[in-house]
Chain A
Amino acid sequence: MNKGFGEMKYILATDVGSTTTKARFFGNRNGEWRFLVAGEAPTTVEAPYEDVTLGVRNAVREVEELTGHRILSEDASHIVVPCDGEAGVDLYCTTSSAGGGLQMMVAGFMKAMSAESANRAALGAGAVVMDLIARDDGRREFEKIKRIRNLRPDMILLAGGTDGGASVNVIELAELIKAAEPKPRLGADYKLPLVYAGNKDVRDKINKLMKDDFALTIVDNIRPVLEVENSTPARTAIHELFMAHVMSHAPGYTKLMKWTDVPIMPTPSGEGAAMRLIADKYKMNVLGVGLGGATTNVYSIVGGRFVRSVSANLGMSYSVTNVIRETGIENILRWIPFKLNEEEVVCRLMNKMIRPTTVPQTLDELIVEHSVAREALRLGLNHHKRIATRLKGVQLQRTVSDVFDQELAETYVNMKDIDVICGTGGLLSHAPRRAQTMQILNDAFQPEGITRLFQDSVFMMPHLGVLSTVYPEAAWSIFDKDCLVRLGTVIAPIGKGNVGEPVMKVEVKMPDNKEIDEELNCGEVRCVKLTAMQEAEVTITPHNEFDMGKGPGHPVQSTVMGGEVGILLDARGRPIDLPADQSNRNELLLNWFQALGMYDADGLKELR
């Protein structure tokens, strides 16, 4: 980077995804950083290419074509940095999840304590956790050994024991791992990195036991005392080892690393950084999701605590058939309001799995994908809630007895406490109408009370996340003005009722003082138009057992923000019940689609 920040004109950021390489081009317009254009191309990690820089070049060429500005050198061997006025950019940075990203095995002494903390550390570092081995995971020694031998992780994280606490147990686990001789994914001669983040009193013993067979790194204890979870040292080590060992083996990465000025970040780390930007800026509890081709990443920042989960088996292309397997085809079909043969739907999705870079061209194809998205998101959130739990093993002052409560496994991620939901990923960002993204998130996550919804406009959150590590001001400028689409606000009371029964009255005082009164019955969804720059005062009076957060029947007043969709009044109750009868269900779905203008009305008519 040769220029001062104020002199910079162009920034290029890419994300080398598992399916697609996405280039985002940003420019300095009169002192304000803005998004200019996007380019995409299939990721070229596979044979015969086996060089990710080819896909990067292809994506950049699209940007060049759309802007007329040359970015690549004459021989296309690299990206020109800095911009000389005619060609090039002033900064190039990238994220990546190609090659499957970072795949880790995690081992901890107690499943609910050190192993779980280690799991969160690995996930927070952007990894996919292939398995979690613990002394009390229910498997016998030989089963654990067989599992370790079959796994081919890129890295292992081992934790266990508080500092000064019991030491034998974590060494037992280390001996088991050593005896199992896990083989790395990346070839016979590659020494498997192992990060030890347990009881510091046994570091010497661990070092002696493991150093010959593993590339060992020792960091501070993840649980130095039971009440504290200190995952930063482990996360940092994982990321550094990922760059040094894993990335450098992936085809073309050594070349790509030379192209970029900033260390390559795993895509989920970039996404997570962007989600944290929102929480920091708005000072609110945020639930974010990256719905990708292979994985669904869910992020929560609640009470300042950041947790990330990866559902490595739930995605919109590579793992779309796994979504069918986990949720069942009936749960996907229930969101489709026209007759489609079940096998036909399964065939289409399986063909998408084996040809993951294709896109829906027709309306029915789009609706099928949106139905799958709802289920992938729903399952991803359920998975996240199992990870985002209170620290276990911690003495609870509030209970009557002083017994360690290890049974508490409830999540602290409650939808009524979530203030903001943000979605990113190809399907959510590229949905043709904003109302589609808003309602997919609303149906899947079922926010409660008053919740703002955002989406990533053209999928650039990972890009801005990595950019925020070097130029946070530029990243926020683009994020605020071009990336973060304000979809609107969902108002949804908790409770259940029969279709047609009254649910709530909503009085909206618009910015021009006009008053809009809406009375909604169970099963209804309505939209009040309010733009992203506008606020409105609302008074919500729920009926009877319906609750807006202050108790059943208690009114709530608030100022709500608008968005490209507006204020979405959702009287379907929580949780949402879809009728079992297909004809009734289709009618409801079509009413909702129509109320929100989700799809082309004529197109829907043709499909019915």
Chain B
Amino acid sequence: MSKEAYAYTPGLKVKRATAVAKLRRLPIPGEVLIKVGDEVKHNQVIARAEMKGDPEILKVAQLLGVEPEQLGIHMTKKAGEKVTKNEVVAAYRAMFGMINKIVNSPIDGTVESISETTGQVIIRKAPVQVEVDAYIPGKVTQVIPREGGVIETNAAFVQGIFGLGGERHGKIRIAVSSPREELTADHIFTEHKGTVLVGGSLVSFETLRKAAEAGVSCIVAGGIRPPDLKAFMREEIGVAITGQEDVELTLIITEGFGSMTMSEQTFNLLKDFENHMASINGATQIRAGVLRPEIIIPHEEPLEQKQNELSAGIVPGTAVRIIRQPYFGAIGKVVALPVELQRVKSESYVRVLQVNLGEGRVVTVPRANVEIIEG
């Protein structure tokens, strides 16, 4: 029998008290407004930059009917000059006024370049201000010049499996009495405005709509049915890269698609921190830099003893959740890790492990179909 297995699926994090560090960066170089040691609030702007406005390309030579090399003599504006919408930027007059062509700027902006190779003129719109905030309250532990910094805090940290929508904030409120209960429209009240509302096994589109009307910041639930997801997104999902959707609230699903009882561990943890302020993000990306939706609840509790997660592996006694049929959602403890490949019902030969689901029930599942429950 193998004592340890390294080939496992990393589990979602559900931690009561852990150090959370968030890297906050501008998309382009700019100005950082913080220094190491600063205490910041979640909505404090920590860096800002000016992003160049959109360019407008004018085929001026073509419009005037002149050769590109002659463009310079017909321009009425030079590179670097500001222009307003409809202002004349180039003119061609000839034959004693019989030919009188002008080109107007379609936008307010600045003449960026005049090309005597192509005859094109590029006018750039006014720059756009870009800011990044701290997202979580905490201490600045690192500054990245011209980009941003790292903010750290002690917090409860919960990962979901899938989400929609971006960063938001709100107080945790538990709307249901158990993780098995569906979150329905009847659970939504006006006092839930701005909150991170926690449901149980399922949330429907009707409930999401009511929550959006009530101004709820985020809904957390165990599962959602595909048609409800489609209605909420207003389109079918293609690949799991989310976070930029135009949705009225952030949605965080903790277990999967369909009706899924929320993990007791997750539900109880969120319940313990009811009325605490949370920073949440629904952004999800399954590959090329995996992101999972998250709920961060800063608090003052002492940190949990740090486990060396990277070398733990699965050993007998490890708590796992089964993440595929036929035992989807079941939780148990590993009792054995056979080395040899074993035949499962699909007739595949795979590495397996045996899980005790309690009450004497031991099942065999592929090792790939479990995730460690990280405590």
A contact residues vs B (CB 8 Å cutoff) = 18-19, 39-42, 45-49, 54, 57-59, 61-62, 65-66, 98-100, 141-142, 145-146, 149, 168, 171-172, 175-176, 179-181, 183, 188-189, 205, 293-294, 313, 318-319, 321-322, 324-325, 343-344, 346-348, 350-363, 365-366, 430, 432-433, 599-600, 603
The contact of B55 among A62, A145, A294, A356, by CB within 8 Å, is A145
Chain B residues closer than 8 Å to A179, beta-carbon distance: 55, 57, 112-113, 122, 124
Chain A residues closer than 8 Å to B79, beta-carbon distance: none
- Contact, CB under 8 Å: B310 / A54: yes
- Contact, CB under 8 Å: B366 / A176: no
- Bound-state CA distance A41–B314 (Å) is 13
Q: Is B161 an interface residue (CB 8 A)?
A: yes
Given A142-B56, A179-B55, A359-B368, A432 and B287 contact (CB-CB distance below 8 Å): no
B254-296: which have CB < 8 Å to A? 256-258, 284, 286-290
- Contact, CB under 8 Å: B288 / A99: yes
- Contact, CB under 8 Å: A347 / B225: yes
- Contact, CB under 8 Å: B239 / A358: no
B237's nearest neighbour on chain A, judged by CB, is A321
A368 to chain B, nearest CB (A): 10
Stretch at the interface among B170-178, B212-220, B345-353: B345-353
Main secondary structure of the interface of B (DSSP, over half): loop
- Contact, CB under 8 Å: A18 / B287: yes
The contact of A347 among B146, B226, B365, by CB within 8 Å, is B226
Given A42-B7, A343-B227, A356 and B345 contact (CB-CB distance below 8 Å): no
The contact of A346 among B161, B226, B369, by CB within 8 Å, is B226
Chain B residues closer than 8 Å to A430, beta-carbon distance: 348
A-B contact pairs, 11 of them (CB 8 A): A42-B10, A61-B6, A142-B57, A188-B29, A188-B147, A318-B239, A322-B238, A356-B287, A362-B344, A363-B347, A599-B347
B contact residues vs A (CB 8 Å cutoff) = 2, 6-10, 25-29, 52, 54-57, 68, 112-113, 115, 117-120, 122, 124, 146-147, 161-162, 225-227, 236-240, 256-258, 284, 286-290, 309-310, 323-326, 328, 339, 344-351, 365-366, 368-369, 371
- Contact, CB under 8 Å: A189 / B29: yes
- Bound-state CA distance A31–B365 (Å) is 40
Chain A residues closer than 8 Å to B225, beta-carbon distance: 343, 347
Chain A residues closer than 8 Å to B238, beta-carbon distance: 313, 319, 321-322, 325
Chain B residues closer than 8 Å to A603, beta-carbon distance: 345
- Contact, CB under 8 Å: A362 / B326: yes
- Bound-state CA distance A362–B117 (Å) is 65
- Bound-state CA distance A18–B284 (Å) is 16
B123's nearest neighbour on chain A, judged by CB, is A179
- Contact, CB under 8 Å: B288 / A100: yes
Chain A residues closer than 8 Å to B371, beta-carbon distance: 355
The contact of A46 among B54, B258, B290, B348, by CB within 8 Å, is B290
B365's nearest neighbour on chain A, judged by CB, is A361
- Contact, CB under 8 Å: A365 / B346: yes
A319's nearest neighbour on chain B, judged by CB, is B239
- Bound-state CA distance A39–B339 (Å) is 12
A23 to chain B, nearest CB (A): 11
- Contact, CB under 8 Å: A18 / B290: no
- Contact, CB under 8 Å: A433 / B347: yes
In the A-B complex, the 4 residue pairs with the smallest Cβ-Cβ separation, listed nearest first, are A100-B288, A46-B290, A432-B347, A179-B55
- Bound-state CA distance A98–B289 (Å) is 9
B132 to chain A, nearest CB (A): 12
B351 to chain A, nearest CB (A): 8
- Bound-state CA distance A603–B344 (Å) is 12
- Contact, CB under 8 Å: A47 / B29: no
B327's nearest neighbour on chain A, judged by CB, is A361
Given A42-B10, A346-B226, A171 and B117 contact (CB-CB distance below 8 Å): yes
A375 to chain B, nearest CB (A): 15
7 additional A-B residue pairs with CB within 8 Å, beyond A175-B118, A189-B29: A41-B6, A145-B54, A171-B117, A343-B227, A347-B226, A355-B161, A359-B348
Chain A residues closer than 8 Å to B344, beta-carbon distance: 361-362
- Bound-state CA distance A142–B365 (Å) is 54
- Bound-state CA distance A359–B9 (Å) is 12
- Contact, CB under 8 Å: A62 / B310: no
- Contact, CB under 8 Å: B120 / A172: yes
- Contact, CB under 8 Å: B325 / A45: no
- Contact, CB under 8 Å: B6 / A358: no
The contact of A99 among B54, B68, B257, B289, by CB within 8 Å, is B289
- Bound-state CA distance A354–B292 (Å) is 10
- Contact, CB under 8 Å: A180 / B55: yes
The contact of B287 among A19, A39, A54, A175, by CB within 8 Å, is A19
Q: Output the residue of A58, A62, A141, A347 with the most chain B CB within 10 A.
A: A347
- Bound-state CA distance A216–B325 (Å) is 51
- Bound-state CA distance A321–B147 (Å) is 36
Chain A residues closer than 8 Å to B323, beta-carbon distance: 351, 355, 358
- Contact, CB under 8 Å: A318 / B286: yes
- Contact, CB under 8 Å: A432 / B324: no
A474 to chain B, nearest CB (A): 26
Given A41-B7, A343-B225, A361 and B239 contact (CB-CB distance below 8 Å): no
- Bound-state CA distance A261–B2 (Å) is 31
- Contact, CB under 8 Å: A354 / B324: no
A351 to chain B, nearest CB (A): 5
- Bound-state CA distance A293–B368 (Å) is 15
Given A321-B238, A432-B348, A100 and B287 contact (CB-CB distance below 8 Å): yes
Chain A residues closer than 8 Å to B9, beta-carbon distance: 42, 355, 357-358
B370's nearest neighbour on chain A, judged by CB, is A358
- Bound-state CA distance A45–B161 (Å) is 17
Chain B residues closer than 8 Å to A98, beta-carbon distance: 288
Chain B residues closer than 8 Å to A46, beta-carbon distance: 10, 289-290
- Contact, CB under 8 Å: B324 / A322: no
- Contact, CB under 8 Å: B227 / A183: no
- Bound-state CA distance A511–B195 (Å) is 76
Given A41-B6, A354-B161, A318 and B325 contact (CB-CB distance below 8 Å): no
Given A175-B120, A180-B55, A350 and B257 contact (CB-CB distance below 8 Å): yes
A133 to chain B, nearest CB (A): 13
- Bound-state CA distance A171–B8 (Å) is 52
B100 to chain A, nearest CB (A): 26
- Bound-state CA distance A325–B368 (Å) is 26
- Contact, CB under 8 Å: B54 / A347: no
- Contact, CB under 8 Å: B347 / A600: yes
Q: Output the residue of A99, A149, A179, A346 with the most chain B CB within 10 A.
A: A179
B309's nearest neighbour on chain A, judged by CB, is A48
- Contact, CB under 8 Å: B289 / A45: yes
- Bound-state CA distance A600–B343 (Å) is 13
- Contact, CB under 8 Å: B347 / A318: no
The contact of A183 among B10, B27, B237, B350, by CB within 8 Å, is B27
